A and B are shown apart, each in its own frame.
Chain A
Amino acid sequence: MKSLAELQAIRDRMKDKVILREGANQVRVVVGMATCGIAAGARPVLNAFVEAISAEGLTDKVTVSQTGCIGICQYEPVVEIYEPGKEKTTYVKMTAEKVAAVVEKHLKGGNVVTEFTVSNME
């Protein structure tokens, strides 16, 4: 180790990898991963969220986790986004492609992508 910059580089590279262990963040993306969700393709959606959030540098703000069946199996894969002080947003019939838009517009931009939400379906 010849310089502080080298140490800093290792720290930056590793920070993303251990930040999960600081517990859940304020913003939570919860993917329904019951049998119905998995059958409808929730795994690729979950992984797409994890990758996109990391790529956008949001790991210290957003936590991705899973939940069981919430009872609207016909709309799976279902994704709920919880933000402090805001109403929960429920996205339905998610795909890996839709994830990119949600991360970009909702998580980064702060605007709900209404065309994917459950209220739009009803």
Chain B
Amino acid sequence: MIRAHVLVCGGTGCTSSNSQAVQKAFTENIEAFGLAEEVKLVQTGCFGLCALGPVVIIYPDGTFYSRVEPDDVKEIVEEHLLKGRVVERLVYNDTGAKEIVEDAKKNVPLSETVFYKSQNRVVLRNCGVINPEEIDEYIAMDGYAALGKVLTEMTPEEVIKVVSDSGLRGRGGGGFPTGRKWALTAPNKADQKYVVCNADEGDPGAFMDRSILEGDPHCLIEAMAICGYAIGATQGFVYVRAEYPIAVKRLQIAIDQAREYGLLGKNIFGSGFDFDLEIRLGAGAFVCGEETALMTSIEGNRGEPRPRPPYPAVKGLYNKPTVENNVETFANIPQIILRGVEWFTSMGTERSKGTKVFALGGKIKNTGLVEIPMGTTLNEIINEIGGGIPGGKKFKAAQTGGPSGGCIPASLIDTEVDYDNLVSIGCMMGSGGLIVMDEDTCMVDMAKFFLEFTVEESCGKCTPCRVGTRRLLEILDKITKGKGTLEDIDKLEELCHYIKQNSLCGLGQTAPNPVLSTLNFFRDEYIAHVVDKKCPAGVCKDLLSFSIDKDKCIGCGKCAKNCPVDAITKTDYIAPGHKLASYTIDTAKCIKCGACLAGCKFGAISKK
């Protein structure tokens, strides 16, 4: 009889920090201590705290162990599972070790820890709870009950009405009302219609969709079948990038299991409704996340966008009426059907209902995955759930929406995050990447980084995007090299607007956003680069110079030893109170690598 469950995270984050070896060690030790009949080992999807991986949770106590090494496992099995003593040194703490260990003893649920307390896990409810490779565990969590309800009790019109009334909006970034999308597709007559799931998650730093696919793949299958029923489609495709191998593998296992149970295929629940699903792998081009390019790619052609109209609701995949939604959007559907419109609309703000999943990254303590109700302030996300900025640095800005989005500066940290608030400050929700930047980030350099990305990823079909983004990048490059002029900033702005207005698809239309929003909030930094030839954050190498304070230098010579280009030499000046002669940097030779600065223990080296 099983009395305890050991949940080991098998998401990509924890897998890369070696959770497979931890799992293996658990199997061996549970066996060795004769606990195989009493303790069940479960591989789950992402718990969200990727920075602290590999993560292990032991139930029924709900003890949360972080950064578990294979060598720690024997102790956990012997102490916790056999003797019932929490291994305190491994217990996750976010408020100071003592408090949380006490909590673990008092059986305060994990949901009360600072990281989870303000979260509301709707989409991620099964991630880190069930084994994604076991359809029965999903069913135990009310899985496929929504599909059953829809097929036996509801008409397609009723389903669309529920989705419309819930106010659910597309979680891929655009925020188009999902119910309206379905309602526009349903009445169109055709011999075949399609449901497509956009799992081509391409924003740098975003991994919400991957985590859902890895942690709860059946949820997506169920939602797509519900959509198929609502719009009259019998075939679905999930377009997922090939560089998500764990997600692809688990989704395929889930599809096979659903077929075996008859939850995909012919005559589901005896209702006469047929639906099947296939995976299509993308090669990882960013543009394929754009809906028309994605469909072109599924059709077997080069992933290029096509002009709209006609919209996919009329002529989508293979020129048939098609609904395309993002993974997270679909993941909301079964819950909305089961728990009702009122429950869903009780979360969020006036025009943005429900929750949003964010992938926290950059300069933040709790790198990972969080799900919060719409309307939560950026401050709460970053400083409470995210644990703040490491190293006591100051928060400077957060980038949402990746290369298509914009930045939110520190002055607007109390902004309530929802679709409309973000748009009103020149930003966008995006798919959920949230990159946190501290005072050491140069905003011009950051805009340049995203432009490099879009230049690489532009498909080249239309000129404004193909040529325009490259010209933008060239101007940014010039500015970061200290060769820019004030006219360049004006030119930059003008070109941004031109590209936005004239590009064919979303990629080009949004590519200038990182430039525009940094110009809006951090124009003084651009001016500092151009007029003063300085990079205030100390990032742009061409604008930096390193120097040694000859009176602080004790003459140890470490910097000279570290310097890869021999730019540092001894002088004949001995500072008062010191025994050895100080050193100096030949700025002509210096390549500004910073090795001297990093090595100096006496604070004698500065960069300006």
CA distance A51 to B37 in the complex (A): 12
**Contact between A14 and B139 (Cβ–Cβ < 8 Å)?**
yes
Q: Could you say which of A1, A35, A64, A67 contacts B60, with CB atoms under 8 Å apart?
A: A64
- The answer, yes or no, to whether A33 is at the interface (CB within 8 Å) is yes
Q: Could you say which of B59, B62, B84, B263 contacts A66, with CB atoms under 8 Å apart?
A: B84
**Contact between B3 and A7 (Cβ–Cβ < 8 Å)?**
no
Q: Could you say which of B40, B109, B139 contacts A7, with CB atoms under 8 Å apart?
A: B139
Q: Give every chain B residue within 8 A of A24 (Cβ-Cβ).
A: 60-62, 107, 109
CA distance A46 to B85 in the complex (A): 15
The number of residues on chain B lying at the interface, defined by a beta carbon within 8 Å of a beta carbon of chain A, is 40
Partner-binding segment picked from B142-150, B280-288, B407-415, B499-507: B142-150
- The answer, yes or no, to whether B137 is at the interface (CB within 8 Å) is yes
Most A C-beta atoms less than 10 A away, residue of B107, B109, B142: B107
Q: Give every chain A residue within 8 A of B59 (Cβ-Cβ).
A: 20-21, 23
Q: Give every chain B residue within 8 A of A31 (Cβ-Cβ).
A: 84
CA distance A72 to B94 in the complex (A): 35
Interface residues of B in 54-96 (CB under 8 A from A): 59-62, 82-85
- The answer, yes or no, to whether A50 is at the interface (CB within 8 Å) is yes
**Contact between B130 and A18 (Cβ–Cβ < 8 Å)?**
yes
**Contact between B145 and A18 (Cβ–Cβ < 8 Å)?**
no
Q: Give every chain B residue within 8 A of A67 (Cβ-Cβ).
A: 84-85
Q: Give every chain B residue within 8 A of A51 (Cβ-Cβ).
A: 1
CA distance A15 to B84 in the complex (A): 25
Q: Give every chain A residue within 8 A of B270 (Cβ-Cβ).
A: 2-3
- The answer, yes or no, to whether B478 is at the interface (CB within 8 Å) is no
* In the complex, per-residue mask of A1-32: 1 if CB is within 8 Å of any chain B CB, else 0: 11110010011011101101101110010111
> Given contacts A15-B140, A24-B107, A65-B60, is CB(A38)–CB(B268) below 8 Å?
no
Q: Give every chain A residue within 8 A of B453 (Cβ-Cβ).
A: none
Q: How far is the CB of A114 from chain B (nearest CB, A)?
A: 26
- The answer, yes or no, to whether A47 is at the interface (CB within 8 Å) is yes
- The answer, yes or no, to whether B4 is at the interface (CB within 8 Å) is yes
**Contact between A18 and B60 (Cβ–Cβ < 8 Å)?**
no
**Contact between B269 and A3 (Cβ–Cβ < 8 Å)?**
yes
Identify the closest chain A residue to B131 (Cβ).
A18
> Given contacts A4-B269, A23-B59, A24-B107, is CB(A33)–CB(B137) below 8 Å?
no
**Contact between A63 and B141 (Cβ–Cβ < 8 Å)?**
no
Q: Could you say which of A1, A25, A63 contacts B263, with CB atoms under 8 Å apart?
A: A1
Most B C-beta atoms less than 10 A away, residue of A7, A17, A18, A30: A18
Q: How far is the CB of B448 from chain A (nearest CB, A)?
A: 46
**Contact between B1 and A14 (Cβ–Cβ < 8 Å)?**
no
Q: Give every chain A residue within 8 A of B142 (Cβ-Cβ).
A: 11
Q: Could you say which of B5, B62, B82 contacts A33, with CB atoms under 8 Å apart?
A: B82
**Contact between A1 and B269 (Cβ–Cβ < 8 Å)?**
yes
- The answer, yes or no, to whether A74 is at the interface (CB within 8 Å) is no
Q: Could you say which of A23, A25, A28, A63 contacts B110, with CB atoms under 8 Å apart?
A: A23
CA distance A34 to B7 in the complex (A): 24
**Contact between A20 and B139 (Cβ–Cβ < 8 Å)?**
no
- The answer, yes or no, to whether A71 is at the interface (CB within 8 Å) is no
Q: Give every chain B residue within 8 A of A32 (Cβ-Cβ).
A: 84
Q: Give every chain B residue within 8 A of A30 (Cβ-Cβ).
A: 84
Q: Is the interface of B mostly helix, strand, loop or mixed?
A: loop
CA distance A33 to B33 in the complex (A): 14
**Contact between B85 and A23 (Cβ–Cβ < 8 Å)?**
no
CA distance A41 to B110 in the complex (A): 31
Q: Give every chain B residue within 8 A of A34 (Cβ-Cβ).
A: 83-85
Q: Give every chain A residue within 8 A of B5 (Cβ-Cβ).
A: 20-21
> Given contacts A20-B2, A23-B62, A38-B83, is CB(A4)–CB(B148) below 8 Å?
yes
* In the complex, per-residue mask of B143-163: 1 if CB is within 8 Å of any chain A CB, else 0: 011001000100000000000
- The answer, yes or no, to whether A57 is at the interface (CB within 8 Å) is no
**Contact between A63 and B84 (Cβ–Cβ < 8 Å)?**
no
Interface residues of A in 34-90 (CB under 8 A from B): 34-35, 38, 46-47, 50-51, 54, 63-68
Identify the closest chain A residue to B138 (Cβ).
A14
Identify the closest chain B residue to A13 (Cβ).
B136
Q: How far is the CB of B102 from chain A (nearest CB, A)?
A: 14
- The answer, yes or no, to whether B538 is at the interface (CB within 8 Å) is no
**Contact between A20 and B130 (Cβ–Cβ < 8 Å)?**
no
**Contact between A11 and B140 (Cβ–Cβ < 8 Å)?**
yes
Q: Give every chain A residue within 8 A of B1 (Cβ-Cβ).
A: 47, 50-51, 54
Q: Give every chain B residue within 8 A of A68 (Cβ-Cβ).
A: 83-85
Most A C-beta atoms less than 10 A away, residue of B3, B262, B268: B3
- The answer, yes or no, to whether B370 is at the interface (CB within 8 Å) is no
CA distance A65 to B61 in the complex (A): 7
Identify the closest chain A residue to B110 (Cβ).
A23
Q: Give every chain B residue within 8 A of A18 (Cβ-Cβ).
A: 129-130, 137, 140-141
> Given contacts A4-B152, A24-B109, A64-B60, is CB(A33)–CB(B84) below 8 Å?
yes
CA distance A13 to B60 in the complex (A): 19
CA distance A34 to B82 in the complex (A): 8
**Contact between A47 and B3 (Cβ–Cβ < 8 Å)?**
yes
Q: Could you say which of B37, B83, B139, B269 contacts A11, with CB atoms under 8 Å apart?
A: B139
Q: Give every chain B residue within 8 A of A54 (Cβ-Cβ).
A: 1
**Contact between A20 and B60 (Cβ–Cβ < 8 Å)?**
yes
11 contacts across the A-B interface (CB closer than 8 A): A1-B262, A3-B270, A7-B148, A17-B40, A23-B62, A24-B61, A34-B83, A46-B38, A65-B61, A67-B84, A68-B83
Give the top 7 A-B pairs by smallest Cβ distance, nearest first.
Answer: A66-B84, A14-B140, A1-B262, A50-B3, A33-B84, A63-B60, A51-B1
